[in-house]
A and B are shown apart, each in its own frame.
Chain A
Amino acid sequence: MAKVKSLADLKKIKEELHAKMDLREKSNDPEAQVQIKVGMATCGIASGAKEVMEFLIEATAKRGISTIVTQTGCMGYCYAEPTIEVTIPGKEPVVFGDVDLKKADEVIEKYIKQGELVDGIIPVNYKTIDN
């Protein structure tokens, strides 16, 4: 039995599959997306970074924000785990500390959506080699 019986069927399948390929399409143009790095070293994971990361992935997708969420190693702010680094296109990266689910929600709503700074910013005092 044919799976695609009309153009509408094809479009429906495409929509369903979109989420699966979304990550790959976004990777083609990472600069155009909001990039969030979550510190996922032992200290971060122990403080709940894994849950925060999952929340960030799901929440940004649900709220229609085009994001790339990646994990990174220990950023060195072990006193403020979980830490996340958010880069909005065209802006400098900003690091937030003590990000629990509530804070993550606030970062999405206030910083990512409206560009308002929220509490918990850690001044960046290092450089990364690939940037």
Chain B
Amino acid sequence: MEKYKMHILICGGTGCRASASEAIQNNLQDALKAKGLEEEVQVVMTGCFGFCEKGPIVKILPDNTFYIEVKPEDAEELVEEHIVKGRKVMRLLYTDPDKKEVISDSKNMGFYKKQIRIALRNCGFINPENIDEYIATEGYAALGKCLSEMTPQSVINEIKESGLRGRGGGGFPTGLKWEFASKNDADQKYVVCNADEGDPGAFMDRSILEGDPHSVLEAMAICGYTMGADKGLIYIRAEYPLAIDRLKVAIKQAREYGLLGNDIMGSGFNFDVEMRYGAGAFVCGEETALIHSMEGLRGEPTVKPPFPAESGYNGKPTNVNNVETFANIPVIINKGANWFNKIGTEKSTGTKVFALAGKINNVGLIEVPMGTTLREVIYEIGGGIKDGKKFKAVQTGGPSGGCLTEAHLDTPIDFDNLLAVGSMMGSGGMIVMDEDDCMVSVAKFYLDFTVEESCGKCTPCRVGNKRLYELLDKITEGKGTKEDLDLLRNLSTVIKDTSLCGLGQTSPNPVLSTIENFYDEYIAHVEEHKCPSGQCKALMQYVIDPELCVGCTLCARNCPVDCIAGDRKEAHIIDTAKCIKCGACMEKCKFNAISIQ
């Protein structure tokens, strides 16, 4: 029997593949072959390890050595030193930025210490294209248990008991949702997996599908069993090619093994899964819009009720859950609701996956128990703010969420707490901003996104968001007035109150939360016509300090529009009317005489 002494795991997520992780895999295999070790060392391409900041990641087992920023040309040295001689390659190990210590075991890294991986349990652990590895790690055992030992109602009860809430953003209790769908009788029912991940900067669902596609298939089958559906549909955006490929491989393997198809494990239960591709419209993450898109109609939401549980895809009872929600299901069945509901907080059990992005040291994918504070996530796991800058805000919940400040850092993250402070959980995007970010521009960025993504069905959302954007644009141009702030507030409230779906109901949140939390910054824009963080181009003025200027003429010679005047050895002056604010002069000045006002 083949038994490898060592395993080399290489991250095969989209990020690391973009940094040549496939070439690393090939080079490692070649180097092993050259040493005659291909029978002793197994090379596996896994899903995402989460530490995308320092990718590509290579992990060597059994000693759990975690190599970062590996390049294809490092493969030979890794084999020669680590595999053959048993010496760690120090230059590729992670160094703790605070203590300057080299850490070889990922478990001791600040990034991983506070994490509990449930939904991501197999990401960076198994080969997602090999069903055997999934089965070997309890895969399909939960489905087997449900089909042979549990009634549909007892499965639903278990999920209800676990307290699992929808991870796509809404936070609706999953067990309850399943129960509604199970109670509606029909000749055909559907289970739908919502993989239309659209928040800017979010990649939780993509990573789960790329790293552990079978867990989603298994959970969909379990869901099908509880509600009496024999058909599953995965709605995924076509811009996730790797996730689509891995899902296709997984579906094919599961069919070959008889884990999808007719009479699964001799239970008489039939279930099969098909893929449906979306074109990447944000609104299609809303379940009614998603269903219409799958039906070949325009991706527009419709009024609920009827809820999809009564009348969904093709008018049949349909249950829609998010990828991450599904990924939790097999673990809950295997380990029990009482194991799961002890993790997290009372009303938000379990863990949540977050995509950390923005001005943070450890950009990546993390999974923490609910109730972890924002401070722990940003400073302990995220490693703090890039370049030693000052923290300013964290945006949670994507375009529907809000910007939270220093004062909110000790808030334990869960569905209700985030709502209470004016943001929301959303699907788990977390964008960190530092002192250089202008909050009016941030709000404008999100509005730009929602204006683009509004489906246009409801006037308040279609026209209102556009007007919000224009107001914000006016403020960043320095033409705003204090009255505009009241207008922003009023209009935001109207849009929230009168839009049909979640997109419009939440799209003004970034505006409201930034006005609430960064009112001073708005005031500075409209009253003093200044941008405190110096981001709004129209409000910037480059000026030369005559005390510091020695008249070297370097700035004048580099100015692309010739707006700097002055004689040699005399202080220069910038003609602000002609200045295009490119910053070239400031970069060139050797005497720090040029500043932004």
Which chain B residues lie closer than 8 Å to A102 at the CB level? Answer: none
Determine which of A3, A24, A41 lies in contact with B61 in the assembled complex, contact meaning CB atoms within 8 Å.
Answer: A24
> Are A73 and B265 also in contact (CB < 8 A) when A23-B7, A27-B61 are?
no
Q: How far is the CB of B405 from chain A (nearest CB, A)?
A: 38
Residue pair A4, B257 in contact (C-beta under 8 Å): yes
Contacts of A10 in B (CB 8 A): 135, 140-141, 144, 265
User: A124 an interface residue at 8 Å Cβ cutoff?
Assistant: no
Q: What is the predominant secondary structure among interface residues of chain A facing chain B?
A: helix
Contact B85 A6 (CB under 8 A): no
Contacts of B148 in A (CB 8 A): 7
0/1 interface trace, chain B 91-127, chain A, CB 8 Å (1 if under): 0000000000010110000000000000000000110
Indicate the member of B64, B133, B147, B259 with the most A CB atoms within 10 Å: B64
Contact across chains for B61 and A23 when beta carbons are under 8 A apart: yes
A11 to B144, CA, bound (A): 9
Q: Does A92 contact B (CB under 8 A)?
A: no
Interface of chain A residues 42 through 100 with chain B (CB within 8 A) = 53, 57, 61, 68-73
**A-contact 0/1 string along B2-16, CB 8 Å cutoff:** 111111010000000
C-alpha gap A94/B136 in the complex (Å) = 33
Cα–Cα, bound, A28→B147 (Å): 30
Chain A residues closer than 8 Å to B88, beta-carbon distance: 130
The answer to whether A4 and B62 touch across the interface, beta carbons within 8 angstroms, is no
8 Å CB contact of B5 from A9, A17, A53: A53
Question: B241 in the interface, Cβ–Cβ < 8 Å?
Answer: no
* A18 at the B interface (CB under 8 A): yes
Check A3–B256 contact: CB distance below 8 A.
yes
B266–A6 touching, CB < 8 Å = yes
Partner of B125, one of A24, A57, A61: A24
Indicate if B258 sits at the interface (CB-CB under 8 A): yes
Q: Which residue in B2, B63, B136, B257 is a CB contact (below 8 Å) of A21? A: B136
A18: chain B residues at CB < 8 Å are: 136
Query: When chains A and B are docked, how far (Å) is the Cα of A68 from the Cα of B63?
Result: 8
User: Are A27 and B62 in contact, with the CB atoms below 8 A?
Assistant: yes
Within 8 A of A (CB), among B223-242: none
Q: Counting CB contacts under 8 A, is B87 at the interface?
A: yes
**A26 contacts partner chain B, Cβ-Cβ < 8 Å:** yes
User: Is A119 engaged at the interface, CB distance under 8 Å to the other chain?
Assistant: no
Given contacts A27-B61, A30-B63, A71-B86, contact A21 B133 (CB under 8 A): yes
How many angstroms between the C-alpha atoms of A20 and B135 in the bound complex?
11
Q: Known interface pairs A17-B132, A23-B61. Does A3 touch B5 (Cβ–Cβ under 8 Å)? A: no
With an 8 A cutoff between CB atoms, is B407 at the interface?
no
Give B1-36 interface residues, CB cut-off 8 Å to A: 1-7, 9
Q: Which of B1, B63, B140, B259 contacts A19 (CB 8 A)?
A: B1
User: Once the chains bind, are B136 and A70 in contact (CB under 8 Å)?
Assistant: no
Contact string against A for B residues 38-67, beta-carbon threshold 8 Å, 1 for contact and 0 otherwise: 000000000000000000000001111000
Q: Which residues of A have CB within 8 Å of B140? A: 4, 10
The A-contacting residues of B in range 139-170, CB under 8 angstroms, are 140-141, 144-145, 147-148
5 nearest CB pairs, A to B: A2-B258, A72-B86, A17-B136, A21-B136, A27-B61
Given A17-B133, A19-B3, A20-B3, output 20 extra A-B contacts at Cβ < 8 Å: A2-B258, A4-B140, A4-B257, A7-B148, A7-B265, A10-B144, A11-B141, A13-B135, A17-B136, A19-B1, A21-B133, A23-B4, A23-B7, A23-B61, A25-B137, A27-B61, A30-B62, A70-B62, A71-B5, A73-B87
A residues touching B (Cβ–Cβ < 8 Å)? 2-7, 9-11, 13-14, 17-21, 23-28, 30, 37, 40-41, 53, 57, 61, 68-73, 129-130
Interface residues of B (CB under 8 A from A): 1-7, 9, 61-64, 84-88, 102, 104-105, 125-126, 132-133, 135-138, 140-141, 144-145, 147-148, 256-259, 261, 265-266
19 pairs from A and B in contact (CB 8 Å cutoff): A2-B256, A2-B257, A3-B258, A4-B258, A4-B259, A10-B140, A10-B141, A14-B135, A17-B133, A19-B3, A20-B4, A21-B126, A23-B61, A28-B64, A71-B5, A72-B86, A73-B87, A130-B88, A130-B104
